[in-house]
Amino acid sequence: MAGILDTVDQRTQLVGENRLEILMFRLAGRQLFAINVFKVQEVLQLPKLTLMPQRHPFVCGVVNLRGQTLPVIDLSQAIGMRPLVPGPDSTIIVTEYNRSVQAFLVGGVDRIVNMNWEAILPPPTSAGRQHYLTAISKVDDQLVEIIDVEKVLAEIVPYNAKVSREKLDDPVLERARGREVLLVDDSNVALSQLRDTLGQLGVKMHIASDGLKALNMLKAWADSGQVMTDKLLMIFTDAEMPEMDGYRLTTEIRNDPRLRKLYVVLHTSLSGSFNESMVKKVGCDNFLSKFQPDKLVDVVRERLMLDEVPA
């Protein structure tokens, strides 16, 4: 099981090609679920589990993994399915999201599949656990549901969108008021955080739920004759999204003479060490891990300061 993941270096070749690899697994039934392999550190048998008093109902306990204490989250219960019973033969998936590491208890790991983002579609609008999905796909005629892990984690530890008073008092940020920005993300949790934080700066926000919708929106504005650097202060885009990911979106922006000077920020829950190199590969202007309101404002300030630099 430990050999199911190869090195991240081999997977960086997917970036900019609108491709991804997903790790498929089961929870409390036969349904297949998945998460992006880039967020997975390892898959292993459940180590000794320690119970913690007053823990969240979704948290089974904690484990010690090479000197690091990690919470173990029952992913089945977290998305509204029946709880899993942890035991010595249980499997955990260790992941990194938004600079934090956690383990998810699962019913069993299936395999890794290399896919094109065009085959990853938004989930249908319905009740039930669809509320916890960012996308769906099919593998060998089996439906695969891709879990919105950001939403799961936000329900356990709510995110903070409040910007510190010290940041908001910066006179440079006054120049953001009334300016327009484009937010591109398939996670409602991430979009809410962006809206709540940027709303404190008085900016006008346009929303797109994936890279293809965002690109079509940008091209429509450009087709109408608008100067895009006057229209938009900046773009915040997630990395992984159905139909077109943030890397491909950035590549398409750089390849269109009308769009190429737009300021693009990769705003993602993927690990910083990976993205810092990938940002350069596809031509993003900046990179920011999610759920950091003060740093988000710092990035807006950096963009505003560029207006003072002579061309």
pLDDT for 117-159, tens place per residue? 888 888 877 645 558 888 899 999 999 999 999 899 999 988 8
Boundary-marking domain end, from 105, 129, 156: 156
48, amino acid identity: K
Strands (E) in 154-298, as ranges, are: 180-184, 204-208, 234-237, 264-268, 286-289
159, amino acid identity: Y
Residues 224 and 142 in one domain: no
Of residues 18, 19, 16, 71, the one with CA closest to residue 46:
71
Structural domain of 121? 4-156
Boundary-marking domain end, from 156, 185, 216: 156
Average pLDDT, the chain: 88
Residues 230 and 186 in one domain: yes
Q: What is the C-alpha separation between 1 and 92, in angstroms, rounded?
A: 11
Strands (E) in 2-45, as ranges, are: 19-26, 32-36, 40-45
Boundary-marking domain end, from 156, 177, 198: 156
- Predicted TM-score (pTM) above 0.75: yes
The two three-digit tokens of residue 279, written as one number: 């940002």
Residues 224 and 152 in one domain: no
Residues 201 and 138 in one domain: no
Of residues 216, 291, 207, 222, the one with CA closest to residue 249:
216
Residues 81 and 151 in one domain: yes
pLDDT for 59-95, tens place per residue? 999 999 988 999 999 999 999 999 999 988 999 999 9
What's residue 307's pLDDT? 87
Number of separate domains in the chain: 2
The two three-digit tokens of residue 158, written as one number: 């709510």
Work out the burial of residue 150: count CB atoms within 10 Å of its CB; fewer than 13 is exposed, 13-18 middle, 19 or more buried: buried
Q: What is the C-alpha separation between 192 and 86, in angstroms, rounded?
A: 33
What's residue 10's pLDDT? 52
